[in-house]
A and B are shown apart, each in its own frame.
Chain A
């Protein structure tokens, strides 16, 4: 997983190449606007995340472009074809096109819903800002770990704090290093770890919840007992203990650990939902047909719960970031600079908390964390609208 990658010139080229696909399709289908937008979207995401961003964006962009002109020949309401003309044996290509068009339509509807909720859109903009900051920021502002003005420090001063100036918009930290560059570079590891933890939490919870509900019996009781157990131990103190036990040099372990402590709530919700779904005929049918656990989970359960799961994931991300910064704050995990949490820790231990001139050192990362978390929470409002058809209809 190359999530650590940042914007690069190669990515720009990859993005441009990827963008050609929706562009050409758009020109051929005479939908120039969407085609061009698709090109830009691919260019942008390829630029940001190389192949990892470019390729998925091709699919999304093509889907949206196609959805503008696609009419389903089999759709009884839209198609003018008589029943004899309709070929029900659709070819593979036709099926792909149909699926893409459906996807494209829901993306468009989703985007519209995203924009409609003001608070949610604000959250989206906030997240986009942090995304740009950590992905494109490093291209503009290189990491600066060198002390400045070391020679000019005041006589007897121990620290090199400096307030904001034209040269250093956010000032200098206690070692005389540029705070702005620390803010730009210090969020990535934190965000990536938090997102990893959130996604892992949901994956674990969904799988365990589905198993508990569908298999029942001993596994069900066992998992409930474990969930109960985890919910009884206070999370943060336990984390502090575990932080002493496990080396968190590799942040992925930290993410995994956070996920292991966080899954019970979602798992219970999934379990309850699956149990109620099981009563419904189509799931029973799928079960009777022996379509297998993965099929049932992926095709029947997930679509029903997607809104709940996504929002729960966001809250897990938020919780993970809370815990990581908290651990760093207490000095319980090894430091890797640059990092917002480390900035807060060092700022406090170097006395920036009580000195007005040094406030920027603390205030900058504190606001960064606060705004990121706030954006996450606000963004869930939009997600609710995107996923909730009743809200989407504007009723």
Chain B
């Protein structure tokens, strides 16, 4: 039987996920591992197309038919202390697991609500699927949650999705996400499609909910300032791999991977202004035929011949801070200089 350290709720171990397409096999996630502790918020950052959504869909086992998990384990510690491998669950057990243990708010959140039925019907559906047949109790709890995410509870509860604005829908999903009191909530770019004020509201209600309910969060974003605000731990993904992972201050003040550093350089800050922004040249690689060696080397300003030859292993270079980069010493020096010039990481 698998075991987990006491405070870990979710442990992704050496997971690979691929899609089958006409052109060939896309290695969307490649040997990814991380642990999520109770109450921890892990931010997954990286450009779009690097496999963040795929990884999160893999965790709740909801990949499209063309996608499959090739190897690895996803261990989950239930409240009773029992450790289960999610890949061993059958359909029935999976359905029970989803939402009750691990909820997910999708990237296309605006499209995540069934347009032809009311919010309350979706709520009742969800509750009933998990054996909570007392509609009145469900209703009360949902209304309370809606209040906590600063929605007009009665109106929203009886509304059709199209009657709600984008920001309202996003908060409805958030509130529905914690309806069954899950241990883990995955949020896939929850602030991407909304305006800046709504974004603030969402982050605030999310923090309040986290505070009072104590769930763990996997927070996917390509906005580093938001990640810095929310996360305890940050993991950088590139081309389907986690190339750097560590405590938020470590990663943002003392980045050790050239890609993370590139992302940090590309963040506008109040002090630097837009003209100094340096974006990473090129675009994420083709995941059907990825580059040899370090997958980032074609775009990396520090790349050496060795980077093209060998795959850098993920090694722990500082306590809790793992990185897969041969030139991490150089990157570290550069990022310390950047951090000094900016006073605060990622513009905060």
Contacts and interface: CB of A to CB of B under 8 A. Distances in A.
Interface of A: 394-395
Interface string B21-43: 11100000000000000000000
Interface in B219-246: none
Contacts of B22: 394-395
Contacts of A395: 21-22
A395 to B, nearest CB: 7
Contacts of B21: 395
B286 to A, nearest CB: 14
B252 to A, nearest CB: 38
A115 to B, nearest CB: 16
Nearest to A393: B22
Interface in B65-117: none
Interface of B is mostly: loop
A192 B21 CA distance: 43
Contacts of A394: 22-23
A394 B24 CA distance: 12
A57 to B, nearest CB: 33
A394 B22 CA distance: 7
Interface in B46-61: none
Nearest to B23: A394
Contacts, number: 4
A31 to B, nearest CB: 29
Interface of B: 21-23
A394 B21 CA distance: 9
B168 to A, nearest CB: 27
A395 B24 CA distance: 11
A395 B23 CA distance: 8
Across the A-B interface, the 4 shortest Cβ-Cβ residue pairs = A394-B22, A395-B22, A395-B21, A394-B23
A395 B26 CA distance: 13
Nearest to A395: B22
A378 to B, nearest CB: 22
Nearest to A394: B22
B106 to A, nearest CB: 22
Nearest to B22: A394
Contacts of B23: 394
B2 to A, nearest CB: 39
A28 B269 CA distance: 63
A395 B21 CA distance: 7
4 contacts: A394-B22, A394-B23, A395-B21, A395-B22
A394 B23 CA distance: 8
B305 to A, nearest CB: 29
A22 B172 CA distance: 66
A363 to B, nearest CB: 42
A391 to B, nearest CB: 11
A395 B22 CA distance: 7
A280 to B, nearest CB: 22
B25 to A, nearest CB: 15
B19 to A, nearest CB: 12
A362 to B, nearest CB: 46
Nearest to B21: A395
A395 B66 CA distance: 12
